[in-house]
Each structure stands twice: as C-alpha cells, then as structure tokens.
Amino acid sequence: MPIKILLVDDSASDRLIIKNLLSEYEVLTACDGLEAMRILNEHEGINLLILDLNMPNMNGFEVLEAIKKDERFSKLRTIILTVYDELDNEIRGLKLGAVDYIRKPIQMDSLKARIDVHIRLLRAEYALQQQLEEKTFTFDLIFNQAPIGIAIVYGSAHSDKPVVIVNPLFEKIVGMTREELMQVGWDKITHPDDLEEDLKNFKRLQSGEINMYSMDKRYIKPDGSIVWVHMIVAPLNFLDDRHFNHICLVQDITERKVVKEALHESERSKSVFLSHLPGLAYRCNYDREWTMQYVSNGCYNLTGYPPESLLYNRDLSYNDIISPEYRETLWEKWKHILAEKKPFKHEYEIITATGEKKWVLEMGQGVYNEKGEVEALEGIVLDISDRKAFEDALKYSNEHDVSTGLYNREYLVSLLEKDIKLKKNVKKALIGINLSAAQILTTKYGFPYTLNLIKKVAEALNRLCTDNRLLFHVREYRFVFYVVNYKDKNELVDFSNDIIKTLETLFVTDRISGGIGILEIGPDQVDIDLLLRRLLIASERSISLDGKNYVICFYDEVLEALVNRERDIEEALNRIAADEKTDDELFLQFQPILDIKTNKIRGFEALARLRTEKFGLVPPLEFIQIAEKTKLILPIVEKVIIKAFQFLNSMKERGYDEVGVSINISAIQLLNPGFTDRLFEIINDMRINPRNVCIEITESIFTSDFDKVNNIIKKLKNAGLHIAIDDFGTGYSSLSRVNELSVNCIKIDKYFIDSLLHTDLNEAITSDIVSMAHKLGHCTIAEGVECENQLEYLKRHDCDKVQGYFISRPLLEDDAIKFLERHSGGIL
C-alpha cells in the first residue's frame, strides 16, 4: 500500500534531516499548525503524522484537537515530537487513537525505528481491512441478490421498534421500504386471519420450544392487495448482548396459490357440474362397443343403469343402449371426426332400462398419443328429450295451420323451394281452391259458423290426399293442393272435378261457389311468391268466369297477359299517386243528375277515368279494382276529391252555387282512420260548401263493420254532407237495414232500370223500391236511364232524380259547364 507521511516542524533543518531519512516514502512537510491543517484538508491518504508540539501560529495541541473532531482522521497514526515529559498525561487526555511520541533532541535511529513500526502496523491494518471488505462484499452480494426475501431482526420481532435489515426482494414482496416497515410493524402487515398462528409459532421459537417454524401466510400491501408467501423463521446467535435475534425468509407464492385455488375451484365446479349434468360424462375406448373406462353418476338418471354396470361392459355395453337404427351412423360419424381431429357433436336416440326412448346429444373429442393415434374418447351425453319435444311441437306449429291442422303456407313455400332444386325433372303443379265467397256466411251467421264450415272443408279435402298430393290451408278461405308425378293436364282436371264434387256436397245448403285455379310449375320457375300469386290470379279468374258455379281455370298465356296488364296499370297508378312526371293521366268526367220535379240539373256524379301511355283509356272497373287491391285507392281517391272540388269551385264562379257533386268512396277509403279529418281539411282549404258534396258508398260496404261505418257516415252527415247508397238492390242489405243507416239518398241500380224495358211494368218492383225509400225518409236517384219510357215510368212513381245516357253521357269539366249553361232553364 502507498505510505504518505506529513512532517510538521518549525525547524527547517530538522524537516530536511527527517525527510532525507524517510526518502523511501512520500513525505509532505509543514512549518506550523495552520499549514499542517491545510495540507491535511487538501491531500487524501495521509497515513502518518509526525508533529512537533511547540510551533508558532497553531501549536501541536491545537492541531491534535482539530484532528480529533474530524471523522476523516479517525484512523490517522501520530508521532509527537516533544521536549516535555510532563505532557504525557495531557496528550493521553485527548483520547486519540494510535499516538506515539519521541523526546527531543531527536535520535534519528530511534525515530526511524518507531516510524518503521508504525508503517508495519499500517500495512497489517490495510491487509486486514481488505479481507473484511471482501467478506462484506460477498455477504452484500448474496443478501441483495438472493432470489428470496430476507429480513434480519435484532431484538423482539414484535417489539415497538425492532432493528431490521431487509434485502430488496423482501421490500418488493411487502411493498414497503425498511424504514416504512419499521414504522408500521410486522403485525400490521400480516393478514388478520394469519396473525394468531404466526404469533403462537414465534413465541414457541422464542422460548426454545422449537428450533424454527414455517408457514404460508398473507401480507397486506399498502395498496390493499394481498400477497401470499411461504415463510421460514429461525433464530440467529450473535456475540453481542441483544435479547433475541432471528432471520425471516419469505418466498412469494401468490401465483402458486392462485393456480391452486383455481384448480380447487375447477375441481369443485367440475364436481358440481357433473352432479347437475342432465346426462353423463364418460371416457371410453374407441371400439364398436364404446367400452367405458369412466362413467359419471348421471348415467343412472339418463339410462336407468348404474354407472358400474357399463364400466368395461360388465353387464352391458353403451352400444347396447344406443337405438339400433343409429349405431352404424354414430360409428361412421366418429370415424370421420377423428380422422380430421375435430370436436364431435351428434344427436340420436337411446333405449333406457325401462324401454323408454330418449333423445340425447353427444359432444366429445378424441384423446391422442404422441404418434397421433386415438387412445380414448371423452365427452358428455345430454338428455335433450324435452328440447326435442319442444322442437317437434314448434316445428308442427310452424308447418301447420292452427284451425284446420293442415300444412300451412310457410311449409308449402319451404317444400316448393326444396323440390324446385331437387326434383327438376318431376312434374309439379298447384291447384288453388278459392272460397272467398264464404265471407258472406260470416256476415249472416257469424265467424264461428264459417270457421266450423272451413274445418269440414279441410277434413273432406284431406281425404283426397295421396302420396303425390298434399293439401295446404294457405289463407282463411283458400286451400292449395300440391301435386307431383302426374301424367298430364287431364289428370289435373279430373282431380279438380273431384274437388268440385266434394265442395258442392258441403255447400249444398249454403249455396257457396268458389274458384279452382291450376298452375303447372315449369323447370325454370323458381320465384315462389310469383307462383303463388299466379295461382291466386287463376283461382280469382275462375270465380269471375262464373260467379255461381265452380270453373277450372289454368294459368296460361292469356292469363299471363292479363297479369302483365294488371302490373302495368298498377305501375301507372303508382306514378300518378307519387305525382311523378308521366304521360299517364287520371282525370274526371261528370254525369249530370236531373231533378225530375224541377226539370233542372241539381248535381253531377264525378267519375274517375284513367288514360295510360300503353293502354289508352282503361275501364274504371278494371283500374279501380287494382287500386283497391294494392291500397293505391287511398291517394287516388284523394286526387279525385280535389279535382271534383275544383269543378265545384268552377261552377260557383259561374253562379251555379246550388249545384252539387257526388263522389264515390270505397270501403278502404271510408274505413281509413284519417279519412274524415283529411276530407274536412280539404273542404276548408278549398272553401267548399259541404251541402254541395254527396258521398256515394255501395251497400256492400256495410258487411265490413256496420256500426263503425254508420258512425262514420253520421259524422259526415252532421257536417252537412249528403250520403247516398250506390247500386242499391244488388248487394247484401235490405230496406229494413237501410232504415238504420244515416243516409240521405238511395241510388237504384241500373239493373232495376233496365228491367223496365223487358218486364211488364205492372210487375216491376222499381216503383216499390221508390215508395219504400220515401217512407223511410230517403230521396231516390235512378241510375242508367237510357230511354224515355224509363223516365216516364219513374216520373209516374215519384222518383226524385235520374241520371243516364238519356240525360247525358259523362262529360269533361268544360263540357259539363257548357251543358249546365245550355240547360239552365230546363232540360226536357
């Protein structure tokens, strides 16, 4: 080690002699105490101080006092040069460390010997220090880098202020520094549930009853989280007089505890799951018998056999329980799944110990060895009998009509979709039976009567079903036969005639007819909705051909053309309703209504007309029927009302403010919830006198909801509008029923007016209708008057008003006003 000496002496010659004497060492010199202190502060590593006590400025005593107070010089060795023997006690009183002294005059040999001794001691101390530092370094290295938490405690571990040494890992585990730990105390960081056991063990350790103890315990970290540790506590014996010392080793086992707890919870959950499993869990061999290695207790509830009876096929194999028709399918299914190493899932039936059949769902997977070979199968078998029963009930409900028990429309659609794809080369046809006329019976006898009749129809028609004929109840009054593998059209006609005979027998007393439509399904026809729509068209066409008898109507090219025409007219009406720019036109014609008694025109009937770009003028009966069917009648009639009111205003401007206009309103329009409010709104906006407006409704409208309709027309009548029943005598009402209606007028249908031309006038009932209407307080208007004889008859029998070609054809607005102007003084 390097030796550095500071020589302090006020004698320059002595300093030189001593320095030369010590030439082998590094020697620094100072002439007084002040210079000595400066050198001591500026130079590090001075090992030996040779100090003369008797010096100017700052004497040796003062230097020694300063050195004593500075911790840096605690290991500095000192040789004092003095001429006084009596100073020994005073020097010792300073209580310095390694101090030696030599009396002056100095004997150089003696000084050299003393210095050599001190230097040998310095070198011995240095060597010892090096050894201690190496040991301390090794201990610190192990202590600080140990993969386990270490705490060394001096004194009682549960005293208020124990002395604690902890390594970094221990601080990390408990989440506290050494200072924080000493301030808080061990008992505060120990979980309350573990504290009692910990204290008990520690007391036994203190008393010498045990040599050490270990336990799993929990520490509570400052953030409130819990850390599990495995703790070992053992005593430490030191050479000092401390009361009790011990070392504590802790290992963080939180993750292990979590895994253990999760495993425990998993085992518990598995136990609970298996005990409540509606079936069984298994492990079995991959063989034809499904030899069971393990079967859960749920086996008994599912199969009626105890689990042990299936283990290793003791009494029977699981294959014996599987219903025979599923055994081969199940084997092939597993074979395929295992080849692809996929999960298994399959439904099949088993036979229980009591002979009962149960539906089960098996879910499982293969267990493979390192070579990829199947070692076993594992899975569960669940009882799904209740679900299957529900599914069957739901399937039946989805596929069958509730009222008749027949297949419904949804099932027909699904069957057609499947057959069109899979049976392309098989002849297929639909026969539609349209019994919409049966609605009349509901009006007469009530819905239960009609429903019972429809059920009888279903039972009777169902008897005509065969393997290639299925019957469907697709709507309230409509049935469909789906026929496959028939020979030709003649077979379809013959079968349809059998249907007609059956229906005629059922309706012999009710005298209800219907339509029979037939649609052959071509190989390229895949639009099911279009097929069913065409079938409906064919059956409705059948009804229109002969309203009294059943007629068979095939859907063909002619009917196709009618359908296309209907579609084109519907599109034209859509454009008009949407106010699109189009060459299609909705306009009105006005037919004059003559007051017979005054011989003056008292009103006009507004008649809607449609002219399309493709068809030109379309007959009203045709386009109105289409409008009603598509609900386009609602916007169309509103446009008719507005045009009719414009005509009223045009007449009013010319002074004809007593002349009214009649507007035909359909049942759909009248029963529309917003109709009356919208009508009143238009009347107010266009400043129309309600008394100049007559609403014409057909008597058939009252079959919808008599009371509701009557309340609506009362509201209209109370607002000042006139109400007329159009086409009276051809519908379903009687004069006695008319008496209950809030109407002003009855329009006698053209049928009764035409009868005046070829019937003995004395036998004609037209006069009776007029007479009875008057007795009920209603005025009468005769429609379709085309000749003078009819007019004269009506005059004689006091009919109030007439309209028809004899008076005038329907006229455009300008022509109607001109007609009114020409005949302002009278028409006849």
**pLDDT for the residue 706:** 76
Task: Give dist(CA 644, CA 696) in Å, integer.
Answer: 13
Does the model's pTM come out above 0.75? no
Distance from chain centroid for Cα 475: 33
CB neighbourhood size of 747 (10 A): 25
Distance from chain centroid for Cα 688: 54
Q: Rg of the Cα trace of the chain?
A: 59
* pLDDT tens track for 379-400: 999 999 988 888 888 888 888 9
SS3 3: coil
- Strands of the 99-103 sheet, one edge to the other: 26-30, 4-8, 48-52, 77-82, 99-103
Per the CB < 8 A criterion, the answer to whether 40 and 8 are in contact is no
CA angle 519, 524, 529 (to 5 degrees): 55
CB neighbourhood size of 61 (10 A): 18
CB neighbourhood size of 636 (10 A): 23
Adjacent-strand bridge partners of 516: 433, 552
To the nearest 5 percent, what fractions of the chain are helix, strand and coil?
45, 25, 30
Per the CB < 8 A criterion, the answer to whether 669 and 675 are in contact is yes
Adjacent-strand bridge partners of 700: none
Q: Of 374, 369, 225, which is closest to residue 285 (Cα–Cα)? A: 374
CA dihedral for 139, 142, 146, 148, sign (positive or negative): negative
Task: Give dist(CA 189, CA 5) in Å, integer.
Answer: 55
Blockwise average pLDDT, block size 10, the chain, 828 residues: 85 86 88 90 88 84 84 82 63 62 77 81 72 65 84 62 82 91 87 94 90 92 93 77 75 87 70 71 95 92 94 95 95 94 94 94 93 93 89 86 92 92 88 88 83 92 94 94 94 94 86 88 87 88 72 86 87 91 90 94 95 92 88 92 96 94 90 92 96 88 73 93 85 60 88 81 82 90 93 93 95 95 77
The total number of residues shown for the chain amounts to: 828
Residue 423, exposed/middle/buried by CB under 10 A (0-12, 13-18, 19+)? middle
Task: Give dist(CA 346, CA 364) in Å, integer.
Answer: 9
CA dihedral for 726, 732, 736, 741, sign (positive or negative): negative
Task: Give dist(CA 823, CA 826) in Å, integer.
Answer: 5
Per the CB < 8 A criterion, the answer to whether 246 and 256 are in contact is no
- Strands of the 213-220 sheet, one edge to the other: 163-166, 149-154, 245-252, 226-235, 213-220
- Strands of the 428-434 sheet, one edge to the other: 469-475, 478-484, 428-434, 515-521, 551-554
CA 593 to each of CA 72, 449, 640, 747, 819: distance values in angstroms, whole numbers, following the listed order: 136, 43, 19, 11, 12
Task: Give dist(CA 1, CA 196) in Å, integer.
Answer: 57
Tokens of 198: 């910990």
In the chain, count of helices (H) and strands (E)? 31, 29
Residue 790, exposed/middle/buried by CB under 10 A (0-12, 13-18, 19+)? buried
SS3 226: strand
Contacts with 623 (C-beta within 8 Å, 6 or more apart), sequence order = 569, 573, 610
Tokens of 342: 């996929």
**pLDDT for the residue 61:** 83
Task: Give dist(CA 214, CA 648) in Å, integer.
Answer: 110
The DSSP element (H or E) to which 334 belongs, if any, is helix 324-340
Task: Give dist(CA 268, CA 311) in Å, integer.
Answer: 24
Contacts with 649 (C-beta within 8 Å, 6 or more apart), sequence order = 686, 687, 688
**pLDDT for the residue 548:** 66
Task: Give dist(CA 697, CA 746) in Å, integer.
Answer: 10
SS3 52: strand
Per the CB < 8 A criterion, the answer to whether 794 and 633 are in contact is no
**Cis peptide leading into 105, omega within 30 of 0?**
yes
**pLDDT for the residue 156:** 47
